[in-house]
Structure 1
Amino acid sequence: MATPNRHGPIVEIQQLRKSYGSNEVLKGIDLQVAPGEVIAIIGKSGSGKSTLLRCINGLEEFQSGALSVDGQPLLHGNAAAMRELRQHVGMIFQSFNLFPHLSVGKNVMLAPGLVKKTDPTAGEAKARQLLVRVGLGEKFDAFPDQLSGGQMQRVAIARALAMAPSVLLCDEITSALDPELVGEVLRVVESLAVEGMTLLMVTHEMSFARKVSNRVIFMHQGRVHEMGPPAELFGRPQTPELQQFLASITD
């Protein structure tokens, strides 16, 4: 695995454009993310937020522009380059996507075993350690259907961390949860931010974005419309679009 270039950005995006047929969803995105930076991405549904995350981890193919993570360029036609990139990028989705037939511990161990050929004993020790980290040390042998939504999402976080990613992408990871379970997941994400994990998160939790992010990006109609420190973006929105968006949300 390439040694990360700690002097430059860990994520670098230049003039990224993505269309579905004639519908251009991303209209020339430029973004640089420093190692250890926490970025919250906000905006209305359909503004391109989730598509941007899915481009960063290679789930969506973009039409033009350039994207690299940890010095690894994203090259869709090159299977080896895509495998390499995905080892640098972890992603957590709205739906937990756990394998129902595998125990919690086996869900966390699966990718390192398959991709990195991690020794099973070492893999189990790592999985147990990560489950303790997300507050689920006692659930190693439980199955997903025995867990609450908040617990399943914390297992999904442990599973993403098992690959030791350079960057963690979080796509509305609390939107499928009952309100009383949101806090337990956000506390885990906040602890990762404090520990220096590079995070890009699409979120509707404005108070959380304000609290943990270094920068907030407001996306509007496929573009980065405003970007800045949370106090500035929430306190002094510069455009009518952001003012209107913030007024429409109660947090």
Structure 2
Amino acid sequence: MPPTELLAAAHALPASDTAEPAVRMRGLRKAYGAHEVLKGIDLDVRPGEVVAIIGKSGSGKSTLLRCINGLETFQHGTLTVLGQPLKHDDAAAMRTLRQHVGMIFQQFNLFPHLTVGRNVMLAPSLVKKTEARAGEARARALLARVGLAEKFGAWPDQLSGGQQQRVAIARALAMDPAILLCDEITSALDPELVGEVLGVVESLAAEGMTLLMVTHEMGFARKVSDRVIFMHQGKVHEMGPPAELFGSPKTPELKQFLSSLHG
């Protein structure tokens, strides 16, 4: 299936076992020097599926996400995104990949010298050559979607952390990604601001966005995700529906991890 058709399918299809995976990994291994961070990951993510990735710091969660959008190069295995194999030596293919895979980071990474609206408009104007008037209309609509319609002309340093992170979500959505990767997007926020950001992500999940989220918000993972992955020492240690994974963990490692959260 051509990328454009697969992209449309990724938006349109419900999470089903018959759809071609939005992301497929086989035997994925990633090392930094002698330190192996990912030790043979096999994973399929269906279009429209919401997957939460949990685990201790250093278990490989963020590295896994960064491999999916090409920020990290892996040494062994295969990774297919929207039906296309990820090829680091093909610059054009990598640009296409990044148009279809959005990523939101712990730090908001907004450009301080650009207004909120210009931050959201920048990538479409550079990558897709979006005309200014259409780009502004789209940016205003996306800011309204994340509850910040009135902040189009504001500067990033005038916003709270939660507002900046919501702008970062709007900016990622401006490229119309088929897949959205969220890497601990609430960990830099004050506790009272976490809910406003998670509310936006929950609405995206409800609309059928394919989401992979590294998170330490277990209540949110239980509520929103279709599947939870517990990573331990570079491997997928347990995987299943949230009720099953949180309600009856099978391994001592997951039991210990969950009990440590309540300690």
TM-score (norm 1): 0.98
Aligned positions of 1:122-161 closer than 5 A: 122-161=134-173
Deviation at 1:79, TM superposition (A): 0.2
Deviations 1:12-38 (A, max 9, x none): 111100000000000000110111100
Q: Secondary structure at the match of 2:231?
A: strand
Spell out the pairing of 1:32-47 with structure 2 (5 A cutoff): 32-47=44-59
Q: Give 5+ residue unaligned stretches, structure 2.
A: 10-18
- DSSP 3-state at the match of 1:2: helix
Q: What is the rounded CA distance, in whole Å, between the counterparts of 1:84 and 1:2 in structure 2?
A: 11
Residues 58-207 of structure 1: matches in 2 within 5 Å?
Answer: 58-207=70-219
What secondary structure is seen at the aligned counterpart in 1 of 2:78?
Answer: strand
Instruction: Report the AA paired with residue 136 of structure 1.
Output: L
Determine the structure 2 residue equivalent to 1:246.
258
Deviation for aligned residue 1:3: 1.7
Shift in Å, 1:2 = 2.8
| Separation of aligned partners in 1, 2:125 and 2:208 | 26
Q: What is the CA–CA distance in structure 2 between the aligned matches of 1:184 and 1:112, rounded to whole Å?
A: 25
Say which of 17, 26, 49 aligns to 1:14: 26
C-alpha separation in 2, matches of 1:170 and 1:55: 13
| Map of 2:235 onto structure 1 | 223
Q: Does 1:52 align with 2:64?
A: yes
Q: How many residues align?
A: 251
Question: What fraction of aligned residue pairs are identical, expressed as a percent?
Answer: 77
Which amino acid in structure 2 is aligned with residue 200 of structure 1? L
Deviations 1:57-112 (A, max 9, x none): 00000001111111121100000110011111000000000000000000000000
CA–CA distance in structure 2, aligned partners of residues 14 and 118 of structure 1:
36
What do you get for the CA RMSD once the two structures are aligned? 1.0
**Unpaired runs of at least 5, structure 1:** none
AA at the equivalent of 2:262: T
**Corresponding residue number in structure 2 for 1:212:** 224
Moved over 2 A (4+): none
Which amino acid in structure 2 is aligned with residue 56 of structure 1?
A: I
| Contact in 2 for aligned 1:48/1:221 (Cα 8 Å) | yes
1:129/1:137 contact within 8 Å kept: yes
Paired residue type of 2:5: T
Separation of aligned partners in 1, 2:231 and 2:75: 19
8 Å Cα contact 1:131/1:158 also seen in 2:
yes
Contact 1:44 1:245 in 2 (8 A): yes
Q: 1:233 aligns with which of 235, 245, 253?
A: 245
Residue 3 of structure 1: aligned partner: 5
CA drift at 1:250? 2.8
The alignment's TM-score, normalised by the length of structure 2, stands at 0.94
